[in-house]
Structure 1
Amino acid sequence: MSVTASPPVRTGGARVPGAVLRAAAAWSALHLALAALWLLAPSTRPGLEGGDENGGSGLLTVLPPTVTAWLVLVLAAGGLAATAGASLRRPSTGAAAAAFAVAAGLGVLAADLRALVLLGYLTAIVAPAAFLAVFTVGALRSRRARPWLAAVALVVAAGLVSGVLRPGTIGRLAGDLAGPLSRELPSRGALALLLGGAVLLATLGVLVLRAARGACASCGRPGAAWTRPEAAARWGRVATLVAAAGPLPYGLLRMTWLTPWPFGLPDTSDPALRLFGLALGVAALGGAVATIGLIRPWGEVWPSWVPVLRGRPVPVRVPVIAGGLVAVVLLAASPAMIAIGVAGLTSGDLFEAAFLLVFPTLPWGLALAAAVTAYALRRRGACAVCGRR
Structure 2
Amino acid sequence: MTVTPTPEAPPRTTAAPPSRTVQRLLLGAAGWSLAQLLIALRWLLDPGSWPGFDDDGRVGLLAVLHRVPSAWALIGLAAAGLLLAALATRRPASRAVAGALAVQTGLLLVVSADVGVLTLLGYLCAIVGPAAFLVVFLVGAVRARRARPWLLGVLALVVAGVASGVLRPGTVGRLAGELGDGFARHAGPPAHLGLVLVGAALFGTAAVLLRRAATGRCRACGRPGARWTEPDAVRRWSRIATWTAVAGPLPYALVRMTWLTPWPLGMPEGGDLEPAMRLFGLGLGFAALGGAVLTAGLVRPWGEVWPGWVPVLRGRPVPVAVPVLAGGLVATVLLVSTPGMVALAVEGIGDEDPMGWLMLLVFPTLPWGLALAAAVTGYALRRRGTCRSCGRGEPARPVGA
Contact 1:85-1:91 within 8 A present in 2 as well:
no
Pairing of 1:90-105 with structure 2 (within 5 A): 90-105=92-107
**Tell me, what secondary structure is at the counterpart of 1:261?**
coil
| In the alignment, structure 1 residue 369 sits paired with structure 2 residue 380 | no
| In the alignment, structure 1 residue 382 sits paired with structure 2 residue 386 | yes
Aligned to 1:6: none
Pairing of 1:298-377 with structure 2 (within 5 A): 298-377=302-381
Match of 2:164 among 162, 166, 186: 162
Q: Give, in whole Å, the separation in 2 of the partners of 1:369 and 1:132.
A: 28
Q: For structure 1, which segment, 36-45 or 367-376, has the greater mean C-alpha deviation from structure 2 after superposition?
A: 36-45
For residues 285-339 of structure 1, what are the alpha-carbon distances to aligned partners after superposition, in whole Å with 9 as ceiling and x for unaligned? 1101110000000000001111111111000000001001101111111001111
Q: Give, in whole Å, the separation in 2 of the partners of 1:326 and 1:42.
A: 34
| Cα distance change, pair 176–48 in 1 and its aligned pair in 2 (3 A) | closer
Q: Give, in whole Å, the separation in 2 of the partners of 1:33 and 1:236.
A: 38
Aligned to 1:187: 189
Aligned to 2:262: 260
| In the alignment, structure 1 residue 68 sits paired with structure 2 residue 70 | yes
| Cα distance change, pair 254–13 in 1 and its aligned pair in 2 (3 A) | farther
| In the alignment, structure 1 residue 31 sits paired with structure 2 residue 28 | no
For residues 166-200 of structure 1, what are the alpha-carbon distances to aligned partners after superposition, in whole Å with 9 as ceiling and x for unaligned? 00000000000001212334333221111111122
Q: CA deviation at 1:352?
A: 1.8
For residues 32-72 of structure 1, what are the alpha-carbon distances to aligned partners after superposition, in whole Å with 9 as ceiling and x for unaligned? 3542553366338762762232442x111111322222222
| Cα distance change, pair 207–48 in 1 and its aligned pair in 2 (3 A) | farther
Q: Give, in whole Å, the separation in 2 of the partners of 1:257 and 1:36.
A: 44
Q: CA deviation at 1:79?
A: 2.2
Q: CA deviation at 1:259?
A: 2.5
Q: Give, in whole Å, the separation in 2 of the partners of 1:226 and 1:68.
A: 41
Q: CA deviation at 1:217?
A: 1.9
Aligned to 2:53: 50
Q: For structure 1, which segment, 117-126 or 69-78, has the greater mean C-alpha deviation from structure 2 after superposition?
A: 69-78
Aligned residues: CA RMSD? 2.2
Q: For structure 1, which segment, 379-388 or 357-366, has the greater mean C-alpha deviation from structure 2 after superposition?
A: 379-388
Contact 1:49-1:63 within 8 A present in 2 as well:
no
Q: CA deviation at 1:110?
A: 1.1
| Cα distance change, pair 299–17 in 1 and its aligned pair in 2 (3 A) | farther
Contact 2:53-2:67 within 8 A present in 1 as well:
no
Contact 1:327-1:369 within 8 A present in 2 as well:
yes
Aligned to 1:139: 141
For residues 239-281 of structure 1, what are the alpha-carbon distances to aligned partners after superposition, in whole Å with 9 as ceiling and x for unaligned? 1111111101100111122323221245424100000011101
Contact 1:14-1:210 within 8 A present in 2 as well:
no
The one-letter code matched in structure 2 to 1:139 is: A
Higher-Rg member (1/2) = 2
Q: Give, in whole Å, the separation in 2 of the partners of 1:78 and 1:14.
A: 24
Q: Give, in whole Å, the separation in 2 of the partners of 1:316 and 1:48.
A: 38
Structure with the greater relative contact order (CA < 8 A, sep ≥ 6): 1 or 2?
Answer: 1
**Tell me, what secondary structure is at the counterpart of 1:62?**
helix
| In the alignment, structure 1 residue 236 sits paired with structure 2 residue 222 | no
